[in-house]
Structure 1
Amino acid sequence: MAGTETTTNRRRFLLTSGAALAASGTAWALPGQRSGSTSPAAGHRPADPRPPLVRPRVRRAAPYGLTTLDTAARLTGGSGYRRIVSGPGWPLVVRSELAATSPGRRDRRTPLACFVQFTDLHIADVQSPLRTEFLRAGSPGSWRTQEALSVPGAVSLVEQVNALDAGPHTGRPPAFVMSTGDNIDNHSSVELEWFLTLMSGGRITPNTGDAASYEGVHNCGLPLYWHPEAALRDQDKQRGLPHIPGYLHAAMRPLTSPGLRIPWYSTPGNHDDLPGGCLSPQDPMLRDYITGGRKLFSVPDTDVAAYARVLRTGDDPKGTVLKDILQRNATRARTVTADERRRMFTPHEYLSAHLDPAHAGAGPAGHGYSENHLDSDQTYYSFAVAEGVIGISIDTTYRSGHYEGSLGSGQLDWLERTLAAHSSRYYDADGRPVRNIGADDAHILIFSHHHSPSMTRRRDAARTEERRHDGEEVIALLSRFPNVAAWINGHSHVNRITPHPHATPQRSFWEINTASHIDYPQHARLVELADNHDGTLSLFTTLIESAAPHRTDFDDLSAVGLGSLYRELSYNAPGLAGSITGATGDVHEAMAGTPADRNTELLIRRA
C-alpha cells in the first residue's frame, strides 16, 4: 500500500496532524509473512508457506507501512549526494541455525512478548567545547554532518513507536521500549535532560551557550566543515551537500516530544558514562573545559594524528594526550558562551535523574532503576518483560574511561545468581547439570550496550580491585542456562544477528545487535517472542524507521522536515572512522546489515 501513496500526501498528513502519525483509528491490514523467503546461509529452511489462521491487524494512523516489512528507505542516484525515497519492504528471513522449522507452527503459535529496542540515539549538544570535531582533518568520518538534528530525529522515532499498535507476527502490542545505551553523546547533564524529556514527553530546546545564536562548527568559517547557510565552498558542499538557509535556527528551535505512550527502560552505554565515550569523567580539567567559554575548531595535523592514535588503541583513558592538545593550542581556541548545564554527572546523579518524577512518563518509575540502586550506584537490574519472560539489563561500561566494554566479577556473579533464580535446570561451570528446585522458570532476554566482540578484559582504573570479563566469558555464562533466548545490544552501529550454538541445542541462543539512530540507516528494532508448541520458540526481529517521510524537502524546516533531512544527511555523511572501511555509500549500506540481519524469524530450542 505504501508504494501507491505520494510523498507529498504523506508529508501533508504529518504536518497537519499536529504530531506525526497520531492515531486516527483507521484499521489497515498488515501484510503476512513473506512466503518463500529463505535464509542465505546453508542449512536454512524456507518459511512455512501456509498462512496463519488469523492474520494480526494493526490499527494505523495513515496508509503507510510502519515497519520495514512494508516499506524501507531506498537510495536514488549512483554518485555524489544521493537522495532517499520510499522503496519496497524487506522480506522476512527465517533462520534455523539453532533449531529446525516445523510445518504448521504459525497455526499453533502463542505470543509471549513484544517490545521495541532503541539504541545509540546519541542525543548531542553539538556546541559543547569538549567535542573534538577537529579530528575530521585526519578522517572525514570523525564528525557527522547530521548530528545537529539528533533531537528532531529522535522525536520522529518516538512518534513512530507511538503509532505501532501491534507486532506484525504476533498481534501483541509493544509493552515497552528498551534503550540499550549511548542515549546521549557527551556525558553532559543537558543532554541527559533532553534524552529523559524525549522519552517521557515535554519541550526541548536543543541549544546551549548563547540562546540567540549558534556557536559550533557549522558557521565557523573553516572549509573542513559543512556550512549549510553560508556560501563557503566547504568540503561537504564539494561532495554535493546542499545550501539550506535557516538551517541553524531551525536546528536550535524548541520542539515538543509527545513522549512514549508505553513504559521505557534504560541501559547505560560508554557515551552515557564518559565524555566522548572514552575519557575519564573525574578529571578536573575536562570538567572545567566542558562548561567553559573556549572551544577548539582546528589543531595542527600532528595533534590530530596523535589523538587519533590513542583513540584507536584506547591506551589513554585519563585523556592525557587530549589535555595536552587543549593546553598547547589554547591561543587557537575561540570564545564561546560558557554554560553550566553542560556539566558532567556522576553515576548517582544519572540514577537520580531517571528517578525524578518529572521524567516518569509512562513509567515505570526509575525506568529500571530504584531507590535501592542509589545506595551503591548500581546500574544493572532485572525486570518482568511479560508473564513468564524476564529481562536482565547489564552495565558493560568502563567507568574510568574506555569505549570498550566488560563486566566486573561482582556484576558477573550477580548475573549468574539472577539467571539461576529463573532457571529450574541449568549447568555449572564444569558442565554438570544443576537442579534448582523452587526456581521460577522463565524465558530470559539479556540487554546491554556493548556487543560481545567489543567486550575485553582491560583493567578498569575506577575499580582496580575487580577482575574484568570479556564477551566470550559472558557467552559461556549465558550458554549454561537453557532458558536464555537472546542477548540484545548495540554499540556497533551495525545490524548483525549472530547465533551462539552449543553442542546441547537447548543451550544455544541468539545475539541481536542493532544499528544506531545517529548514523544511517537509523533503525530501531521491534522484537516479538512466541512459543511454537513444538519444542521451539520464535524470536521475530523487525526493523523500524522514524515517522519522518523518506523524501526530503530542503525548504521544509519543520520538525517533520528536519527528521527527513536527518536521515538523508546521515547517508551522505562520510563513513565513520573505525567502523567499516570503504567508500561513503558502501559504508552506510553495509551498516544496514544483510537481509539475514534485518527482518527475521529466529528459531531456538526450548529448554
Structure 2
Amino acid sequence: MPQDQPTTGTAGGDTAEGHLSAGEAAAAVDRRRLLLVSGTLALAAGATAAAGAATLVPPRRPGSPTAPVAAEQVVPRAARATRRPAPYAATTLETTARLSGSPRSGTYRRLVPGPGLPLVVREELAPAATGRPDRRTPLACFVQFTDLHLTDVQNPLRTEFLRSGGAAAWRAQEALTVAGAVALVEQVNALGEGPHTGLPPAFVMTTGDNVDNNSVLELDWFLTLMSGGRITPDSGDPTAYEGVQDSGLPLYWHPEEPALRDLDKRRGLPAVPGFLTAARRPVTSPGLRIPWYSTVGNHDDLPGGCLSPALGDFATGSRKLLSVPDTDRAAYAKALRTGDDPKSEVLEAILRRHARSARTVTADERRRLCNPHEYLAAHLEPGRTGAGPVGHGYTQNSLDGDRMYYSFRIAENVIGVSIDTTYRSGHYEGSLDTDQLRWLERTLAAHSSRSYDADGRLVRNPGADDAHVLVFSHHHSPSMTRRPDAARSEERRHDGAEVLALLGRFPNVVAWINGHSHVNRVTPHPHPTPARSFWEVNTASHLDYPHHARLIELTDNGDGTLSLFTTLIESAAPHRTSPDFTDLSAVGLASLYRELAYNAPNMTETTRPDPHTAWAGTPQDRNVELLLTTAL
C-alpha cells in the first residue's frame, strides 16, 4: 500500500469519552489506577456519552457462521458474488466466552462458550435508512489490535510490590501474554471475510502498548509475533524462573506450590503444576498473513509505560525488588497517581534503599530500554517485514527526528493516519506537540477539498485528494492532557479536546480509533454541521478482560451516509480449558490466559457497579453499526 510521508514534527496525543455513570466511571478508574501503579496499565477515564437512538439486532446462532444476523446485516449485492463459503473463524456475533456458574467469593469460575453479542445500530450522527444493505458499497475491512502488553515478567524494573495496596495491581495471567497473542494472530489468519462487507481483512493496525516494559527483548517478541517466527518468552537464567511467582511471598499466585495459601489461591485460583516451566517454553507464531501497521503507545516508549528512561540500569541489573514497606509503596503509588515525578526519583530511591533485600536474579542485557530511534529501526529491518509493508508504516525518513507518525492508503478513497501520542520523559498520559498537530492538519487538508477554520469559516483546499479519513492513536481523548513533557519543557502540548476540535474541522474524518483505556467504548462526536461529526472507537486490551480486538468495516450506503461496523473478535484459543489444568501446550496456555483474566479480582465477585460492563462496555460499545453523514 502506498504511503504518504510525514514532513515535520514528533510526539503525540489523544482522548475519548464513555457513557458510564459517575459511580461506574470512578470504579473503572480506581481499578486501572491500581494496575497503573503496578507499572503495567494506564489510567482509564470515563464520562457520560451523548444519548442517542440505537437499534438492537439479534446475534447469530452459534454454529451458523454464515447465516445473516438480520436484514440489516445481509451482505451487499456487490460482495455477494465473491463471498467465500463457510467455515470462517467465528466472531463475537456467533459466540463469546462467558464465566460459568454464579459469582461467589473464593470460587474460580471456568469459561464456557456463550451466545454471540448482538449488533447495535447507532444513529446519533445520522439516521439508518431502510434498504441500505442492498445499496451498500464495501470500502474497507481491517483488524485493530491494541494493548497486547507482551510482558517479560522477570524484568527487575517491574513494580509488582505495589500489589500490597490492592489485589488488582498485579495480574496472574501476565506470564502468558505471548501464548495469548499468538492465538490472536491465528484467529486473524483464519478470518475469511468481514460479516458486513464480504471483504477479507486487508491489514492489521496495532494501536500501541505492543510491549509492556519498553525493552529490546519484548520488542523482538512483538515483531516476531507479527511477522512470524520462534519466541522464547523468558529472560535471565534460561534454566530457572526468577520472578514473583516462586518467591514464597503470599502476595502473589504460586501455581506450582499447592501448599502455599497465597492471596490468589484464597480467591479460588488453582494450583497448576508445571505452569512456570510451560510459560517459558518457546512458541512459534505463524505471523500475520496480511500486512500490518504499527502505532506507538506509552509502554512502547517508556519502561512500565510511565517511568523515566533514566532507570534503565535497573532493568538490566541483577536485583529484583519483590516487596517494600507500606510507607514506600504508598509514596510510589502517590507519585504515579499525581504524575509529579517525571524523573522517577521516588522509585529510584526505593530501589536503592532496599537493594540488599531484593532478590538476586540473572542480569540480562536484552532487557535494556529501547529508545525511539531503535524502535523505528527495528520495524525497518528486512527480516521483520513479514506480509509487509517494509517498516509497517514507518520509513527511512521516519528516522530523521524519530518521527513515529505517518499516513497510508487503506483503500481507494480511504486514508489512514497514525499519530504518536506519547510523552517521552516519563508519564502515562498522552498529548501532541505543535509540530505534529500542524502536520496532522496539513495531512487532513491534503485529503479534504473543503474544510473549516477554527472560527467555522469554509476553507477551500485546491488540489486535495478527497478521501474518507480514519485516524489511529494509542491514547483516547480523555487521557490526553497538556502536561509539560519534562524532557522538552519549552514545548506546548495539545490535549484531546484540541485534537477533537481539529478533526471536527474536516468533514472527511470518519473515526478516531484508539486504545489505552483497556475498555470498549464508542463515543459520538456530533457537530451542528452533520458532515463534521465523527465517531471515536476505543477498544479494550488483549491483556485484561474481555480480551477483545476489533474487526472494522466501512461501507457507503448509497444514500448520503456511511456505516462503520465494528465487530469484536477473540483469539483462536478454545473457551474451555482442560478440566484438570494439565493441558500446558501453547493452545492450552492461550485458553488459560483468557480464563485467568476473566477471574481477575473484582471480575468474579458480585460488585456494584458491574465490572464486566465497566470493562467490556455496554452493547452500544461492542458490535455496532455506526451511521454518519458522508462528505464525499
Q: TM-score by structure 2 length? A: 0.87
In the other structure, the counterpart of 1:266 is 294
Which one of the candidate residues 276, 280, 283 is aligned to 2:304?
Answer: 276
Contact persistence 1:572–1:585 (CA under 8 A): no
Q: Are residues 1:437 and 2:473 paired? A: no
In the other structure, the counterpart of 1:72 is 96
**More divergent stretch after superposition (458-467 vs 126-135):** 458-467
- Using the TM superposition, give the Cα deviation of residue 476 of structure 1 relative to its aligned residue in structure 2, in angstroms: 0.3
AA in 1 matched with 2:279: A
Distance in 1 (CA, whole Å) between partners of 2:158 and 2:452 is: 47
Contact persistence 2:556–2:562 (CA under 8 A): yes
Contact persistence 1:75–1:82 (CA under 8 A): yes
In the other structure, the counterpart of 1:248 is 276
1:534-577 Cα deviation digits (max 9, x unpaired): 0000000000000000011111101000010000100111259x
1:4-32 Cα deviation digits (max 9, x unpaired): 77xxxxxxxxxxxxxxxxxxxxxx85231
Instruction: Name the SS of the counterpart of 2:392 in structure 1.
Output: helix
Instruction: Name the SS of the counterpart of 1:404 in structure 2.
Output: coil
Label 1:516 to 1:60 Cα distance change in 2 as closer, same or farther (>3 A): farther
Distance in 1 (CA, whole Å) between partners of 2:76 and 2:405 is: 39
Distance in 1 (CA, whole Å) between partners of 2:233 and 2:608 is: 28
Label 1:118 to 1:584 Cα distance change in 2 as closer, same or farther (>3 A): farther
In the other structure, the counterpart of 1:12 is none
AA in 2 matched with 1:170: T
In the other structure, the counterpart of 1:416 is 441
Distance in 2 (CA, whole Å) between partners of 1:96 and 1:439 is: 29
Distance in 2 (CA, whole Å) between partners of 1:2 and 1:218 is: 41
Distance in 2 (CA, whole Å) between partners of 1:432 and 1:138 is: 53
Alignment of 1:465-480 (within 5 A): 465-480=490-505
Which one of the candidate residues 137, 140, 149 is aligned to 2:164?
Answer: 137
Which one of the candidate residues 105, 110, 122 is aligned to 2:132?
Answer: 105
**More divergent stretch after superposition (72-81 vs 295-304):** 72-81
Q: Are residues 1:88 and 2:115 paired? A: yes
Q: Are residues 1:34 and 2:70 paired? A: yes
Contact persistence 2:136–2:558 (CA under 8 A): yes
1:367-404 Cα deviation digits (max 9, x unpaired): 00000011110000000111110000000000111000
In the other structure, the counterpart of 1:427 is 452
Alignment of 1:143-542 (within 5 A): 143-231=170-258, 232-281=260-309, 283=310, 286-542=311-567
AA in 1 matched with 2:540: A
Contact persistence 1:61–1:163 (CA under 8 A): no
Which one of the candidate residues 583, 587, 598 is aligned to 1:571?
Answer: 598
- Using the TM superposition, give the Cα deviation of residue 106 of structure 1 relative to its aligned residue in structure 2, in angstroms: 0.5
Instruction: Name the SS of the counterpart of 1:444 in structure 2.
Output: strand
AA in 2 matched with 1:364: P
Contact persistence 2:186–2:571 (CA under 8 A): yes
In the other structure, the counterpart of 1:15 is none
Contact persistence 1:574–1:584 (CA under 8 A): no
AA in 2 matched with 1:243: A
Contact persistence 1:3–1:86 (CA under 8 A): no
In the other structure, the counterpart of 2:147 is 120
Label 1:534 to 1:278 Cα distance change in 2 as closer, same or farther (>3 A): same
Instruction: Name the SS of the counterpart of 1:116 in structure 2.
Output: strand
In the other structure, the counterpart of 2:624 is 600
AA in 1 matched with 2:97: A
Task: In structure 2, list runs of 5 or more residues that go unmatched.
Answer: 1-58
Task: In structure 1, list runs of 5 or more residues that go unmatched.
Answer: 6-27, 36-47
Contact persistence 2:65–2:90 (CA under 8 A): no
- Using the TM superposition, give the Cα deviation of residue 584 of structure 1 relative to its aligned residue in structure 2, in angstroms: 10
Instruction: Name the SS of the counterpart of 1:159 in structure 2.
Output: helix
Distance in 1 (CA, whole Å) between partners of 2:75 and 2:357 is: 66
Which one of the candidate residues 577, 586, 589 is aligned to 1:559?
Answer: 586
Which one of the candidate residues 580, 587, 590 is aligned to 2:611?
Answer: 587
Distance in 2 (CA, whole Å) between partners of 1:390 and 1:277 is: 29
Distance in 2 (CA, whole Å) between partners of 1:425 and 1:49 is: 33
Contact persistence 2:307–2:342 (CA under 8 A): yes
Distance in 1 (CA, whole Å) between partners of 2:74 and 2:322 is: 60
AA in 1 matched with 2:69: Q
Distance in 1 (CA, whole Å) between partners of 2:372 and 2:156 is: 22
AA in 1 matched with 2:153: V
1:213-253 Cα deviation digits (max 9, x unpaired): 10001111000000001021101001110111011111000
Distance in 2 (CA, whole Å) between partners of 1:187 and 1:157 is: 21
- Using the TM superposition, give the Cα deviation of residue 332 of structure 1 relative to its aligned residue in structure 2, in angstroms: 1.1
In the other structure, the counterpart of 1:18 is none
Distance in 2 (CA, whole Å) between partners of 1:401 and 1:476 is: 26
AA in 1 matched with 2:268: G
Label 1:588 to 1:327 Cα distance change in 2 as closer, same or farther (>3 A): farther
Distance in 1 (CA, whole Å) between partners of 2:61 and 2:453 is: 53
Distance in 1 (CA, whole Å) between partners of 2:531 and 2:245 is: 53
Label 1:29 to 1:124 Cα distance change in 2 as closer, same or farther (>3 A): closer
Contact persistence 1:60–1:164 (CA under 8 A): no
Instruction: Name the SS of the counterpart of 2:445 in structure 1.
Output: helix
Distance in 2 (CA, whole Å) between partners of 1:557 and 1:59 is: 33
- Using the TM superposition, give the Cα deviation of residue 488 of structure 1 relative to its aligned residue in structure 2, in angstroms: 0.0
Label 1:49 to 1:381 Cα distance change in 2 as closer, same or farther (>3 A): closer
- Using the TM superposition, give the Cα deviation of residue 590 of structure 1 relative to its aligned residue in structure 2, in angstroms: 2.5
AA in 1 matched with 2:189: N
Contact persistence 1:495–1:515 (CA under 8 A): yes
1:66-124 Cα deviation digits (max 9, x unpaired): 20000011111222211110011011100000001111111000000000000000000
Contact persistence 2:407–2:417 (CA under 8 A): yes
1:264-300 Cα deviation digits (max 9, x unpaired): 000000000001110111x1xx111100111011000
Instruction: Name the SS of the counterpart of 2:408 in structure 1.
Output: strand
Label 1:288 to 1:60 Cα distance change in 2 as closer, same or farther (>3 A): farther
Contact persistence 1:85–1:550 (CA under 8 A): yes
- Using the TM superposition, give the Cα deviation of residue 3 of structure 1 relative to its aligned residue in structure 2, in angstroms: 7.3
